[in-house]
């Protein structure tokens, strides 16, 4: 059976600082498997749907082996993971609580990585075309020209086969030559999207507007069916042409906020696939994002349905 959800993007190794403060003073790190689209694929599996991941890794280094082992152990279909023998596994470091106490900063070492070498040949139209939802983010097209071409092929394949397209803007300025380049590249993709995840910073950059109403209206006007505006500690808002929903964030201790948005996206699309309403899907997504920030690592605290249910009325 084909997976319910197929994701496309780079799998990475994350080194998360055990102590807060500047990386120059950190001596101990935890190793985690990460990558936005990888996290969404794992999140969907935790909630008892099927998922598959399209990526590239190295199988002759320990980090590549770690990624394959983790993804396979979580039950994600690894049949579309391509082995690239000529490039290293991408890594990044997480600096926590500095210079802003409640924030984390990512320091990348991923240029020329295996995942950045994703190409259209890695996208199998028959495999992707049999899914229910295709998900990727604005990170993937920023990695390289071939990764951009792979993203475009995947989006076109999904659209041609009536596969719902889910997209998280996830603009990482450090990965783009310029923010104008990011806008010019992402807007045509967004025009083909069914479910869009974004935040006020990205939305303002992409649309040139500042109010929530203008952001929601602007993306709906581009043809997006469902727009979800993630607002961190202020919760989230979702809108279609005929419906609007909002959800408050859970009050939690924040250990590391990285990965919350991917837990949010994975939970929202899983909930919609299960037939839940816009409002219920949004509430569950906010809970998932809130739970993930309480630990270091993007995927360790990805919740099951039961975990979310336990927090519904908290």
- Biggest CA–CA distance in the chain, Å, is 52
Enclosing H/E stretch for 281: helix 278-292
Among the options 168, 199, 202, 262, which is catalytic? 262
- The whole-angstrom separation of Cα 88 and Cα 114 is 6
**Contact criterion met (CB below 8 Å) for 5 and 51:** yes
184 has catalytic annotation: no
- The whole-angstrom separation of Cα 110 and Cα 85 is 16
| 141: its two tokens | 């097209």
Residue 231 dihedral angles phi and psi, to the nearest 5°: -125, 30
**Contact criterion met (CB below 8 Å) for 118 and 53:** no
- The whole-angstrom separation of Cα 216 and Cα 6 is 26
| 301: its two tokens | 């605290």
Strand ranges of the sheet holding 29-34, from the earlier edge strand across to the other edge: 29-34, 12-17, 91-96, 104-109
| 23: its two tokens | 């990386």
Catalytic residues: 262
């Amino acid at each position: 059976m084909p997976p319910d959800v197929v994701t496309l993007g780079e799998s990475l190794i994350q080194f998360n600082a055990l102590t807060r403060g500047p990386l120059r003073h950190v001596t101990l790190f935890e190793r985690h498997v990460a990558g936005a689209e990888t996290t969404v694929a794992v999140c969907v599996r935790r909630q008892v749907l099927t998922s598959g991941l399209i990526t590239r890794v190295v199988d002759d280094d320990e980090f590549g082996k770690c990624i394959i082992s983790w993804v396979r152990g979580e039950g994600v279909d690894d049949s579309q993971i391509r082995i690239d023998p000529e490039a290293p596994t991408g890594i990044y470091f997480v600096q926590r609580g500095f210079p802003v106490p409640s924030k984390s900063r990512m320091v990348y070492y991923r240029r020329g990585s295996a995942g950045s070498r994703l190409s259209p040949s890695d996208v199998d139209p028959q495999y992707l075309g049999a899914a229910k939802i295709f998900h990727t983010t604005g990170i993937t097209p920023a990695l390289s020209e071939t990764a951009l071409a792979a993203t475009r092929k995947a989006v076109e394949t999904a659209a041609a086969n009536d596969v719902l397209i889910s997209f998280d803007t996830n603009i990482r300025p450090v990965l783009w030559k310029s923010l104008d380049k990011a806008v010019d590249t992402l807007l045509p993709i967004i025009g083909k999207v069914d479910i869009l995840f974004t935040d006020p910073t990205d939305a303002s950059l992409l649309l040139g507007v500042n109010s929530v109403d203008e952001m929601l209206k602007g993306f709906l006007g581009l043809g997006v069916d469902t727009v979800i505006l993630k607002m961190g500690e202020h919760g989230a808002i979702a809108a279609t042409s005929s419906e609007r929903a909002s959800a408050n964030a859970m009050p939690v201790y924040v250990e590391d906020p990285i990965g919350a948005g991917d837990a949010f996206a994975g939970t929202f699309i899983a909930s919609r696939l299960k037939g839940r309403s816009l409002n219920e899907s949004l509430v569950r997504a906010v809970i998932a994002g809130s739970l993930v920030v309480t630990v270091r690592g993007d995927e360790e605290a990805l919740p099951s349905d039961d975990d979310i249910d336990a927090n519904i009325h908290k």
